[in-house]
Structure 1
Amino acid sequence: MSFFNNLKIDYSVGNQKDWTGRKTVLENQYWYQNIQVSNIEKENFNHNIHIGLVGYSCEEGVRRNQGRIGARKGPASVRNKLGKIPIHFSDKNIVDFGNIICVDNHLEDCQKALSKSISKLISNHILPIAIGGGHDIAYANFSGIKDALKNSTKNKIGIINFDAHFDLRTVEAQPNSGTPFHQILSEFKKVSYFAIGIQQQSNTKELFEIAHKNNVSYVSNFECETFTESLKNKLTSFVEKVDYLYITIDLDGFSSAYATGVSAPSPLGFSPNFVYKTLAFLFKSKKVISCDIAELNPDFDVDNHTANLAAKLVDFMVLNA
């Protein structure tokens, strides 16, 4: 029986041809020379794997949310840029497990497939880094984390979301890229949520009320100019109360000076330098259990700036993991 059972999805296994870079006679200089590829349905995990990449090729949640479609192309765009980045680590085996691909409008099946993949990686002591795709990736990733921890007594999960939006909309007709954290808070226990970069002009009064009702911690984009001592203290308090951290980065939280290739660009977002410093602090906790990057839309990217940013974020996560 297939790992994905009867889910209405397509799955493309990791492919070495997706990884290219500068030709050199030296070994292990660039990502494309170091990456391994595999099939998550058939991988027996009998060798040491530290980090697993999984693409979430899905824009159905963005379409339902009336956003600009194109996010399904995100994983391919990130791999294209990531392969060309020089490596500065020698002790981490990284495997690309290919793409979970949404078929037609079957968003929920795509989320279930990614959830199964995340759970399998964590259960085999591998850090997943998922690459989207719309921010509905968050509900899938978190569901996989919870499944992997279902028999553990250490199961308090803190969500860190770098984002201009709360994504706390209630589900009306169907879930979408704006509902994942409301779904998580409604369906799961022992979860805390901290949003970094919230923009008042990108969230309705109702969303702020929902955040308050659910004890959501957040800092506005105006508090994200630099990684301040105040933010450090807030995050320290948050991290101390949970067993694990799930980090999700919506690229529309960045200023459009750095990230044009998203569904909802804004000039008021944070900078890469701020996110790098915050990520470095979070990874020092040794509590990070899974990560993802969402909302890359190559159709609206300029000179691949956003794809380059996403790729360098993945590289930075690996360096700090």
Structure 2
Amino acid sequence: MTTKNHIPASKELWQGRATSVDNEYWYQIIDCLQPTDSLSNYNYAIVGYTCHEGVKRNQGRLGAAKGPDAIRNKLAKVPVHFNDIKIADVGNIPCIDNNMEACQDDYATVITQALNAQCFPIGIGGGHDIAYATFKGIWNSFEADNKPKIGIINFDAHFDFRVKTAAGNSGTPFYQIIEEHPRNVEYLAIGIQQQGNTRALFNYAESKKLSFIPWENCEEYGDGFEKIKAELNQFASKVDHLYITIDLDAFSSAFAPGVSAPSALGITPKFALKVLTELLSSQKVIALDIAELNPSLDQDNVTAGLAARMIDYVVNQ
């Protein structure tokens, strides 16, 4: 996992209650690797993106750079309910001297190396500019003459395709991806809020024929979810692989207060888990990341705990 800047994983971040039983909690089963270690024997690799430069450029509230370690702290204490799954923590990719682009390149390199080792990468951020880096890592894992069609599932209150001008930020990742790879990308946003997006962003979605599900349609029960399930299956059928990215501000602030842009409106964790179940059953999901946790704004680590539970849920599927 050779990159220019890479902070090795630390076992100090993985601590939990003392127990006489082995492999009872995540902190007991996680392997903390050095940057030069191979991922070929692991099922999952956790990769930290300790960068909030994109949030800063997008005029958001800073603090997401500390999100990855806060998620690790909560995940460490989650009980283990799976067998024969090997999980590695490969450490953090930092943003040095506000150079978000270099951070994205280094992070993408680790994602590519994980995928080439047949290891499922789980990114933890960090601002949602992590999405551009994750996609770049996915894209680079395929041969130049054999690029697949990749479907992006974005749990988010925002489209995040603001036009990139001088530099990217946490609001531009999907604009960058779509403009750079118009023939190889499908996009579906889940949880979009009208008050969180300008008319221009809705117009862009329409012009590019990009799909979205408004937050108010994200019901957990009845015919509402059956319609969403059908839409998810139709979306998955159009692509070769799926990449899931979760911006925690998609959730109501009742469940995720610790984000730069919280909202009383939003989706519920139960709904998100049902969607994840459907997507993972397709056998097409090859990468996932969780973005925008800001520990300085969190309440009783509720948002960090939600992120940890989402990761645990994915591994248990």
TM range (shorter): over 0.9
Where does the alignment leave 5 or more consecutive residues of structure 1 unmatched? none
Q: What is the match of residue 113 of structure 2?
A: 120
Letter in 2 for 1:35: I
Query: What secondary structure sits across from 2:314 in the alignment?
Result: helix
Give the count of matched residue pairs: 313
Q: What is the match of residue 208 of structure 2?
A: 214
Pick closer, same or farther for the CA change 1:231–1:152 going to 2, 3 Å: farther
Query: What secondary structure sits across from 1:96 in the alignment?
Result: strand
Q: What is the match of residue 263 of structure 1?
A: 260
User: Post-superposition shift, 1:14?
Assistant: 1.2
> Does structure 1 conserve the Cα–Cα contact (< 8 Å) formed by 2:256 and 2:302?
yes
Query: What secondary structure sits across from 2:6 in the alignment?
Result: strand
Letter in 2 for 1:240: S
Q: TM-score, normalization: structure 1?
A: 0.95
Alpha-carbon separation, structure 2, partners of 1:299 and 1:122: 32
Structure 1 residue aligned with 2:302, among 297, 301, 305? 305
Alpha-carbon separation, structure 1, partners of 2:38 and 2:229: 40
Letter in 2 for 1:271: T
Alpha-carbon separation, structure 2, partners of 1:55 and 1:152: 30
**Which contiguous aligned blocks of 4+ residues in structure 1 show a shift greater than 6 angstroms?**
none
CA-to-aligned-CA distance 1:265-318 (integer Å, 9 cap, x gap): 001100000001100110001101100000000000001000000110111111
Q: TM-score, normalization: structure 2?
A: 0.96
Letter in 1 for 2:194: Q
Alignment of 1:76-225 (within 5 A): 76-151=69-144, 153=146, 155-188=148-181, 189-225=183-219
> Does structure 2 conserve the Cα–Cα contact (< 8 Å) formed by 1:154 and 1:243?
no
User: Post-superposition shift, 1:4?
Assistant: 2.1
User: Post-superposition shift, 1:173?
Assistant: 2.1
Structure 2 residue aligned with 1:16, among 2, 11, 15? 11
**% identical equivalent positions:** 51
Letter in 1 for 2:157: A
CA RMSD of aligned residues (A): 1.2
Query: What secondary structure sits across from 1:25 in the alignment?
Result: coil
Q: What is the match of residue 233 of structure 1?
A: 230
Where does the alignment leave 5 or more consecutive residues of structure 2 unmatched? none
